[in-house]
Each structure stands twice: as structure tokens, then as C-alpha cells.
Structure 1
Amino acid sequence: MAVDRERVAGLVRELLEAIGEDPDRPGLKATPGRVADAYGEFFAGIGQDASAPLAHTISIAHGPAPETSPSGAVMLRDIQFRSVCEHHLLPFRGRAHIAYLPGDQVVGLGALPKVVDILASRPQVQERLGEQIADAIADAIDTRGVLVVLDAAHGCVTMRGERQHEASTVTIAARGALADPAARAELIALIGAGRE
């Protein structure tokens, strides 16, 4: 379902009036349409199948190098994402780090950011977002384990209330063999490697 931009624009106009502003003044006249366009982007993931980017897999055992067998993890670090907190409708943004232990299948690395983008493009909470990413990967491809670490700054923390400008939130979601903290310790260390 696509965002109803016309309806959003009308509601933003009402909101501007409700906070005591004049939606017809020059600086605000185009704001309802701009917000409607932004919401079209922010919430484009609603109704999309997050596992669709994972549909094309590559068999390790029967692929271009059949003597290759899965051993270690595949990790993609620093996937930038943005989302909107469902509690205050304020943005949060950060980086996702995804690792999985392949079974017989791997996916193209470009598929992982697409999964993140689809799931982040909905009203979200960070804790659920990480779990949904882990589930999408674990359910769609043959893995022995999945690890998703999200590190994000939330507008509801940095811009309101106590205004902790430098605060970020880190969440971990793990499946399979990587649900064991000892098994994922090396991967957690690799996420931070080379950052000093």
C-alpha cells in the first residue's frame, strides 16, 4: 500500500494550524506537500516483502568453485539506515552490521542492505528492527547462524527530553549458532576493528 500523499498533506496542514502556525505563509505553503513526499520515502517499506531481496541465492557446494565449503562467517559492516520511531514519529539513524554463517547458500552482498532498507522504511523501534532483519535472513537462506548489530542515534533522545546529543543505542539480534555469546564474540570484535 502506497502512502496517501494527498491525505498526509491535508493532515500536515491541519497540524500546522494546530500548533498555531499559518500554513499559507510563504515559508510553509509547500511544507504539507514536502512532508507528504518525505513520508512516502520514510514509509515505503510498509507492505513490502523483506525477504524478496534474498530470493536469489548462490550454492557454495554447486557453485563456480565446488571444492569450496562454508567455514567462517560472511559479514557486511556499516550499512547505513534511517527509520522513524513509532513512539514519537521522530527519525533515528545509524549503522547495521550483519553476519551469517552460511550453510550451502550465500546471497549477493547487495541483498543485505535492501533487507535493512525495507524493514527500516516503516514506523519502527530499533529492537524489533534488528529482530526482523535477523528473522528475514534466517528464514530465507540456509544459514547456521545470523547476527545483526544495530547502532543508532534516536531523535527522541538527541533532540527532546534530556537531549543526550552523543548518545546511541546498540541492539543485538542473533539466531542459530550465533545466539551463543561466546560464538559471536569474534564477530562483535570485528565490527569494531579498525575504528580507532
Structure 2
Amino acid sequence: MSSSPDPDPDGPAAEPVSDRVLTVPNVISLIRLLLVPVVGVLIVQGHLVAAFVVLIGAGASDWLDGVIARRFNQTSKLGRLLDPFADRLFIFVTIVGLAYQEIIPWWLVAAIVAREVAVGASLPYMMRRGYTGFPVHVAGKAGTFALMYAFPLLLLAHIDGAVGTIAWITGWAAALWGVYLYWAAGLIYLNQFRQVVAWHRRRLGTGGTGSTA
């Protein structure tokens, strides 16, 4: 998939995207979305092993729905919105729960939320001009993947002995790497937003008929 949006919303799509709603990837994303409050309750109530299992399952489902969508040509407009929304909501609820349990510091929560706010603030402008969002960048997917697996490991860090120590070291390495990639992708998306804004201003300045609010 292209790393930058086509500045013309009427231009050719980078890949075939259907209007279908009932697809296997969308069902998987919906199930992952329904598990969000489950993992939140488990973490807050201190059922950390059970939360660990749910988080591992959520991470696996995130990989699985992408594979199915590409392999069986089931990429859809709804899936492009549902899948990242489920990922972000899962990450948000998990980090708040982990911070509540004092497993991670609140500054890590702030770093992730600040990135979401920065990118999310540009989406209304994009959607009013015919864009469904930003094309998924490999840095963003890698960052999400790292975070989705960092937090289960940090849940295991409370276990005494070698398992807890290894989980703590590996989990923090993945978390910091994930935040770095998350912000790297965020800066790429913001640069794409800047390009879209500049393109529409140039088009309107030359008497074009670009999409407007």
C-alpha cells in the first residue's frame, strides 16, 4: 500500500476496496472490539494472567484479519476503519489499566495518547474532502504490533523469578520501540496531511473544483 495518500480523491485506488460489510476480517475485528471492555475489567480487577491471555489473542487476531483480507481479497472500506479503531481502543484501554495498576508510568500513556490526538485532529479535514483516512504505513503497523505484545509481557513482569525478569526487560524494550515507531508513523501521517492541505489550496487558488467542506 502507498505510504502517501493520492492528493486527488477521484484518482485511482491503490488496491481494490469493496463496500462489503459482512466479511471474515470485519467479523474478527468486531470480536476484538467486543473484547476491549473484557480486558479492561480483567486488568483493573487484578486478573493479570487472564488479561494476558486475552491480549495475546487480540494480537493474534489483528495479524489474522489482515492476512485473510489480503489473501482472499476481502479488503473493505469498513475494515479500513474498524481494524485500526479496534487496535487503538485496545491499546488505550490496556495502557490505562496498566497505569492504574502501576505497572507502567502515566507518562507512557500520555505519549501514546498525544500521538493519537495529533493525528486524529487532522482526520475531519481529510474526511470532508473525500479521504477515508491515511494509508497504513509499515511503521504504524510495526509500532502497533510492538505495543500489542509489549503490554502482555509487562503483565507477566509481576511474576517472581526469571520469567518475570525476562518479561519486564522484553516488554519494556518492545514498549519503547513501539512508541518510537508509533510517533514515526504519526509524523509521516501529519506530513501527508500537510501535503493534502497544500494541494487543495493550490487547486482552489488556480480555480479548480476540488472537494471542499
Query: What TM-score range do you get, normalising by the shorter chain?
Result: under 0.3
Structure number with greater Rg is 1
| Higher relative contact order structure (alpha carbons within 8 Å, sequence separation ≥ 6) | 2
Indicate the structure with greater helix content.
2
Indicate the structure with greater strand content.
1
What TM-score results when the alignment is normalised by the length of structure 1?
0.27
